[in-house]
Amino acid sequence: MSGAAGCQGGGGGGDDYRGPRWRKPWKLLALGLLSASSVLAAAPGAGAMSKEEKRQLGNQVLEMFDHAYSNYMEHAYPADELMPLTCRGRVRGQEPSRGDVDDALGKFSLTLIDTLDTLVVLNKTKEFEEAVKKVIKDVNLDNDIVVSVFETNIRVLGGLLGGHSVAIMLKEKGEYMQWYNSELLHMAKELGYKLLPAFNTTSGLPYPRVNLKFGIRHPEARTGTETDTCTACAGTLILEFAALSRFTGTSIFEEYARKALDFIWEKRQRSSNLVGVTINIHTGDWVRKDSGVGAGIDSYYEYLLKAYVLLGDDSFLERFNTHYNAIMRYISQPPLLLDVHIHKPMLNARTWMDSLLAFFPGLQVLKGDIRPAIETHEMLYQVIKKHNFLPEAFTTDFRVHWAQHPLRPEFAESTYFLYKATGDPYYLEVGKTLIENLNKYARVPCGFAAMKDVRTGSHEDRMDSFFLAEMFKYLYLLFADKEDMIFDIEDYIFTTEAHLLPLWLSTTNQTIAKKNTTTEYTELDDSNFDWTCPNTQILFPNDPMFAQSIREPLKNVVDKSCPRGISRAEESLGSGPKPPLRARDFMASNPEHLEILKKMGVSLIHLKDGRVQLVQHAVQAASSLDAEDGLRFMQEMIELSSQQQKEQQLPPRAVQIVSHPFFGRVVLTAGPAQFGMDLSKHKAGTRGFVATIKPYNGCSEITNPEAVKEKIALMQRGHCMFAEKARNIQKAGAIGGIVIDDNEGSSSDTAPLFQMAGDGKNTDDITIPMLFLFNKEGNIILDAIREYEAVEVLLSDKAKDRDLEMENMDQKLSENDSHKQNSEEAASAFQDVGEVSEEPEEEERSDVIDPDSLAPANAGSDSISISNQDSYVPEPDEASAPEPTCTQGDNQPQEQKTETESNSKVNWDNKVQPMESILADWNEDIEAFEMMEKDEL
């Protein structure tokens, strides 16, 4: 989520920190950061980027924004979002459901509303004026559709308010928007009233969803039965609702948002001062008791600090500082930020981090705690340099946990704030890297596509509205000088969606008496309150290399050998007693080990299939310390079991279409083979034109060898063993093979990948590479052949750098003409090119019998199933399991299905192509919650 514009929260500290500070906060809030230019002037030796290069990078950001925005307007508007691979709009109900992620869509032109104030920040005032007119004329907020209260608030209500804020600013300047009469504010008020029914609970916490037309309890509402919501969902309302109240003079919105925040504060865990991820909206009981600064909680903390900035209420600052002290005591393990249990905060709740926590360094800058902000940001940057983007989740040893990246802006946000705080040109170089990676790996003809898998470079057919609302805003501000802006950004605070709210709202329509309702504070060191926003004169006295000195020890943190993280419990024990039994040492046949398990409350059950199941009942442990040892043992066993299962699998491969008009932009996820060329050991991969064989199943001698020779053969799955198909096409002269699934509609989106096994015989005679594509991915290649005849692909273990293709684009275009006349002549021009990094990744097989072996055996018990031997169910034309491999590559947990690119059919010639369906089942919220519930014991 987003931060605040510039530094909007400066301030004094001292012993009497609870008293009123500022009489005119909208003026005094400016005292935080010095401008970046002044810091650079004080540090001429810091290797500053030239003004000309900054200007060029700013212009490049503008061009990228134009590419994304114009394609949305041309191909998607008035739909909520653009589908950049198929060049069309995403309309809810007309596309396959993606679960909760679709709750952001309300048939209200989401992307346009979310982008309004971005247009003004980027000096596109004419486009802004046209966009506002379209919103007023076209957008309907009275749709019979169930939407997320959280997403609708931050994106739509916030977008309307941000648009209104800059509209009245432009009108006051006298050149633009002279016709404007608060129409966006009227729409915001209408929407605010439509969200209010969600607050009809005894606690004051809102329902997570509401029907825009029928509210909550109406028979046709189709919602109102939920019992839980996330902390961020209920605690990220105060800025938008308070701004709506201050703009309109209607106090009810701010009252409801304050009541929700008050309730969460009162329900915090009193001994740790932490909050959980999920809370019951009726009882206030914590449903998910893990606590961190990422998904589910993130913007709750952000809005406490910013509510203090915008509204001037000291109670919000005091709450934030209380929580922040707990975060730094328990969750912060520099440079990591690891979730803990709210009741046992010395015990880590999981061993991975999600990408949403990338906002936290920016929030720490506003708080004034600069050192940990620099450390965490640098760690995240090292992960990005390894994978080009920040994976949705990654482990403590920096391996991929969830491989997706939906073009999130949080890291760009923190980069902007760190540059504002330090003036260090290093952060300009970081921003330059972000721009290059977006253009190189995410840019497609109709916009920018989310990454389905950061390891293979495969795409997903989505471009979320926050990409336009936030990413380009932060990147442009990073490179813009003050004279490049048409207004002073320091007069505004950013919401979590980077929408602009003016600071003068703090003294406008104060319909609620400002009073301190916060009680039962933990007495904290006064230094925690000294600087709520950093001042470079204080932070970096006579030391322009301060930030670099903090970053330097972390330069190689990701590339070093994978470290084993030390839990807070172990750290607190020091050299004292360690857990009596480690998971890696456990033997089910050792009576002494079984006795130790019993002492820890862990029982062992032998299953009929040869596995043993471990179940922990904490109440049966000999003591509370033994129960905690048992909990740690179970966590270790889950990790160990998942790792052992993963180590027996080969990573996915990539099929990249490199011929005109694709030029490497279409990357399909493919399953590997246990035989033939190992693509991970051949950096160049295998490149060639594709040809369909006869017979299509490849189970007998190929009858069209002249069409297959020196080409990559396409064949259908079934009727014989994979190895037999490979031998037949190799004999016909093929340089590689792609087996396409015969199961209609199958896709890597909905099924885990598996590897093609041999036939039980020696397969050393097979020397060509063989890959497997599901039906949907395979049809993309077949459709391309029907459209363009000559289609060239690259088989590799990872998508190659597409810049090599773009450099030879003109040559390829001319070659394609000759290919259409004589494809055999074109075959003589084949060559293997491209570099693929030799970094194995591990994926889930489709033939593992027990994918849920790590799930709890019954409610209220902690359990794990451990296989004594690996069991597989071979497909009719597949053999048994592969040889185990040991790798330092990227892992995903066993519960996480392979999430790699199916790359739905591309819109060639800029025309919408018909498709059977678009499979986009990935749902970040549900998946995150399900995965963390499996991690939680």
| Catalytic residue numbers, as ranges | 151, 298, 392, 410
Please give the Cα distance from 673 to 355 (Å, whole number). 32
CB–CB of 122/146 below 8 Å?
A: no
SS3 82: strand
Sign of CA dihedral 900, 905, 908, 913: negative
The answer to whether 243 and 161 have CB atoms below 8 angstroms apart is yes
Q: Which spans in 623-774 are helix H?
A: 624-646, 705-708, 722-731
Q: Which two tokens stand for residue 248?
A: 């309109």
400 forms beta bridges with 394
> What is the Cα–Cα distance from 362 to 298, expressed in whole angstroms?
12
- Amino acid in position 865: S
Q: Which amino acid is at 196?
A: L
Could you tell me which of 17, 567, 22 has the C-alpha nearest to residue 319?
17
| Residue 66 token pair | 């134009």
CA distances 762 to 168, 766, 879, 880, Å, are: 76, 9, 13, 14
Q: Are 366 and 7 in contact (CB under 8 A)?
A: yes
Closest CA to 477 of 494, 489, 461: 489
Are 424 and 547 in contact by the 8 Å Cβ rule? The answer is yes
Q: Is the dihedral of CA 877, 883, 888, 892 positive or negative?
A: positive
Strand-pair partners of 148: 209
Both structure tokens of 589? 């046949």
Q: Which residue has the tokens 């390894």?
A: 386
Nearest to 418 by CA among 491, 465, 359, 471: 359
Residue 863 sits at φ, ψ, to 5 deg, of: -140, 160
**DSSP-H helix ranges across 753-851:** 775-788, 803-807, 809-821, 823-827
CA distance 374 to 361: 7
User: Distances in Å between the alpha carbon of 325 and those of 322, 544, 913?
Assistant: 5, 28, 54
H or E element in which residue 239 lies: helix 238-248
Q: Which residue is listed with tokens 């699934």?
A: 741
Residue with tokens 């050991």: 681
Report whether 115 contacts 465 (CB < 8 A).
Answer: yes
Give the residue from 670, 746, 732, 723 showing the smallest Cα distance to 695.
Answer: 732
Token output for 834: 């491209």
Alpha-carbon distance values, 706 to 695, 767, 775, 817 (Å): 14, 20, 26, 21
Q: Measure the CA dihedral 467/472/474/479, to 10°.
A: 160
Distance CA 83, CA 75 (A): 9
For residue 864, the surrounding DSSP H or E stretch is strand 862-866
Q: Which two tokens stand for residue 459?
A: 């795409």
Integer Cα distance of 128 and 159 in angstroms: 13
Q: How far apart are CA 613 and CA 618, in angstroms?
A: 16
Round to the nearest angstrom and report the end-to-end CA distance of the chain.
28
- Alpha-carbon gap, residue 452 to 922, rounded angstroms: 9
Residue 30: HSE in the Cβ half-sphere, 13 Å Cα cutoff: 12
Q: How far apart are CA 171 and CA 178, in angstroms?
A: 5
